């Protein structure tokens, strides 16, 4: 499904407004290197590409069939896929259990089981793998930007949430390994997807948006295993009674008690996000693959007020704290810093600080055994902050074993440098609270893994 050598689009259309046409163009625009077949009952060519009236007319083997036709015709199309020995199916069509047509969904599942044909959906966006250039999303690229290749895999029960987060990921600078939208989870569900991603070497971090699970015991088993191998960031939809009712009408999900899900996620070391912004903030820090050795934070800034606000955010955490510079670090800083700089944490380098001053300060601090993680505040509105500073921060992060994030707030000039840093794997945040929360999540997950390896209770 994610690495197919051949794909058939059932419901391919000449009409640019049709889902089947958008999926066809996505494959073409992505430069999909495999064999692409179009199935349409009219049999007419689509932009010079031959079409087939039935998948049974295609004589070559098909690894993946993408079905984008009205719900009532899906079972018949799946029956033909089974007879054609198609290996996997994605059903993007809606109109099944989420609107009360459980009968259609059961029929679809029965056919999938009959032919041993793993089926994703229905009522989903399907899959995207930037490496294999597979893209079943029926959202055109001019509306939804596609992220670059990376190590974060995103699993979403909701296509709408999935597409929104994908769009945000593409602007945040960290890359995507795989996107899997599973919709009603009629055949393949979140347990199957997590089991796959557990062993997927291209996936370093997992983001999960879930509304409800149908196989609770199996979810517990995979949660217990996966959190020891790679971080999982989860956002649960359906926290309230009203949200649970909405989830059922959306994906026919059994949303269940939010508190029960929360207890499960916490027990097995999942990082819990409360909204989409937190989801991205956590994904960004984990995708940088940094490993903290402790909770002690150093703050280096070129703006005093920003340093104060960040100190407040760090000190408000139940897990993080400001570190105290060693005597040796204080002496080194005193020699290299201007007289107007007070040698303390937060270290305010003053408004005229340039990349050389940051280099001297961060060089000393990153070598300090009393410091475990660093927040570098870079206010690019000041005279000395420019592209040289961004490049220096990238270099320092690459050379240091200590986790480092950048806090930088501003408009166009700042955003330009934010993209520069994030595209190099340096996480950038626009508020002290976001930076603090991300570092806390990184530290807590590190402590969870450490405790489990030592046979201790991580809680």
What domains, with CATH codes, occur in the chain? 1-121 (3.40.50.720), 144-287 (3.40.50.261), 291-450 (3.40.50.261)
Q: How far apart are alpha carbons 101 and 249 in whole angstroms?
A: 11
Q: What is the pLDDT of residue 258?
A: 81
**Region of 363 on the Ramachandran plot (φ > 0 left; ψ -120 to 50 alpha; else beta):** alpha
Residues 296 and 162: their CA atoms lie apart, in Å, by 35
**Per-residue pLDDT at 242:** 56
Tokens linked to 238: 């359906």
The pairing of beta strand 64-67 with beta strand 6-10: parallel
Q: Strand pairing partners for 321?
A: 296
- d(Cα 194, Cα 286) in Å, to the nearest integer? 17
Sheet (strand 88-91) strand order? 51-52, 35-39, 6-10, 64-67, 88-91, 119-120
CA–CA separation, 331 and 350 (whole Å)? 18
Task: Give residue 247's pLDDT.
Answer: 46
What whole-number distance in Å separates Cα of residue 213 and Cα of residue 371? 42
Q: Residues 6 or more apart from 106 whose CB is under 8 A from it?
A: none
Is 423 buried (19+), middle (13-18) or exposed (0-12) by CB count in 10 A?
middle
Question: Which residues fall within 8 angstroms of residue 298, CB to CB, at 6 or more apart?
Answer: 322, 323, 325, 345, 346, 347, 365, 368, 371, 373, 374, 375
Residue 147 · residue 163 · CB < 8 Å: no
Alpha helix ranges (H) inside 227-349 = 241-251, 258-267, 276-287, 304-315, 327-336
Spatial separation of the C-alpha atoms in residues 451 and 410, rounded to whole Å: 40
CB contact burial 250-269 (16+ within 10 A = b; e otherwise):
bbbbebbebeebeebbeebb
Nearest CA to 268 out of 452, 53, 417 is that of: 452
Give the closest residue to 235 by CA, choosing from 206, 276, 192, 267: 276
CA atoms within 13 A on the CB side of 414: 15
Tens-digit pLDDT profile for residues 35-75: 999 999 988 889 999 999 999 999 999 999 999 999 999 99
| Confidence at residue 88, expressed as pLDDT on a 0 to 100 scale | 98
Say what the alpha-carbon torsion angle 253, 259, 265, 268 is, to the nearest 10 degrees: -130
Average pLDDT of adjacent 10-residue blocks, the chain of 459 residues:
98 93 94 96 89 96 97 98 98 95 97 98 96 92 84 92 87 88 95 97 96 89 93 85 49 63 91 94 93 96 97 97 98 96 97 96 97 98 96 96 96 94 94 97 95 81
Which tokens hold the place of 343?
A: 């040698």
pTM: 0.90
Q: What is the pLDDT of residue 241?
A: 52
**What are the distances in angstroms from CA 9 to CA 13, 104, 116, 296, 375?**
9, 21, 20, 53, 48
């Amino acid at each position: 499904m994610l690495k197919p050598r051949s794909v058939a689009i059932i419901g391919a259309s000449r009409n640019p407004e049709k889902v089947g046409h958008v999926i066809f163009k996505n494959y073409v625009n992505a430069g999909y290197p495999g064999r692409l077949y179009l199935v349409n009952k009219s049999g007419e060519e689509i932009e010079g590409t031959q079409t087939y009236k039935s998948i049974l007319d295609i004589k070559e083997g098909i690894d993946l069939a993408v079905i984008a036709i009205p719900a009532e015709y899906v079972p018949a199309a799946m029956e033909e896929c089974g007879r054609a020995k198609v290996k996997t199916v994605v059903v993007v069509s809606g109109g099944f259990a989420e609107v009360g047509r459980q009968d259609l969904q059961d029929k679809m599942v029965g056919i999938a089981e009959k032919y041993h044909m793993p089926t994703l959906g229905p009522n989903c966006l399907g899959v995207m793998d930037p490496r294999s250039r597979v893209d079943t999303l029926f959202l055109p690229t001019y509306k939804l930007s596609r992220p670059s290749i990376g190590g974060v895999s995103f699993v979403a029960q909701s296509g709408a949430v999935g597409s929104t987060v994908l769009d945000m990921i593409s602007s945040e600078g960290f890359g995507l390994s795989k996107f899997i939208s599973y919709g009603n989870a009629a055949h393949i569900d979140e347990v199957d997807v997590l089991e796959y991603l557990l062993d997927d070497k291209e996936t370093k971090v997992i983001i999960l948006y879930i509304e409800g699970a149908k196989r609770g015991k199996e979810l517990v088993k995979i949660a217990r295993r996966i959190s020891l191998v790679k971080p999982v960031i989860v956002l649960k939809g359906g926290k309230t009674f009203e949200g649970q009712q909405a989830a059922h009408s959306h994906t026919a999900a059994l949303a269940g008690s939010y508190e029960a899900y929360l207890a499960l996620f916490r027990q097995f070391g999942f990082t819990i996000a409360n909204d989409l912004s937190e989801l991205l903030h956590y994904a960004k820090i984990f995708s940088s693959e940094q490993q903290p050795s402790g909770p002690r934070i150093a703050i280096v800034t070129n703006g005093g007020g920003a340093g104060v606000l960040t100190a407040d955010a760090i000190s408000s955490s139940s897990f993080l704290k400001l570190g105290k510079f060693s005597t040796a670090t204080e002496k080194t800083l005193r020699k290299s810093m201007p007289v107007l700089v007070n040698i303390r944490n937060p270290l305010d380098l003053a408004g005229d600080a340039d990349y050389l001053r940051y280099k001297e300060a961060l060089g000393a601090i990153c070598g300090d055994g009393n410091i475990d993680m660093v927040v570098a505040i870079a206010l690019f509105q000041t005279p000395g902050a420019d592209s040289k500073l961004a490049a220096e921060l990238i270099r320092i992060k690459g050379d240091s074993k200590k986790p480092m994030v950048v806090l930088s707030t501003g408009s166009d000039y700042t955003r330009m440098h934010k993209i520069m840093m994030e595209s190099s794997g340096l996480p950038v945040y626009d508020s002290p609270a976001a930076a603090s929360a991300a570092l806390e999540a990184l530290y807590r997950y590190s402590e969870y893994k450490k405790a489990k390896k030592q046979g201790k209770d991580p809680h």
